[in-house]
Structure 1
Amino acid sequence: MGSGAGFVVVAGFVVYLLLAVPFVLLVASRTSVTTGWLMSVPLVFLPFTLLIAFMTP
């Protein structure tokens, strides 16, 4: 990804985070802390991990 595609991927990830984090906070406020953590880890950290894995040469 040397042609600017990395920037597009990171920008898409930031937009995803801007949408996912308020949703996770809404669910966490209406349920238990455990449910909030169980939702937030796969929704936020799994895509971040995949982003790092795909951008590592």
Structure 2
Amino acid sequence: MLELREWPVFADLADAQASVADYFDYYNHERLHSSIGYQMPYHTHHQFLQTTALNCPA
């Protein structure tokens, strides 16, 4: 992400925060992770929550 930007990398703090938020969004909602079977972390996390909620005694 940073390699694509010219110096200065960020215009201000708000620009840096927006860039980090965009990357986290991509990382968790779009990027497929090989360590979890080429799924998105967000999807895997919600599957885990559903599984544990069903197995949890009320």
Report the TM-score, using the length of structure 2 for normalisation: 0.38
Q: Give the structure, 1 or 2, with the largest relative contact order (CA under 8 Å, sep 6 or more).
A: 1
Report the TM-score, using the length of structure 1 for normalisation: 0.38
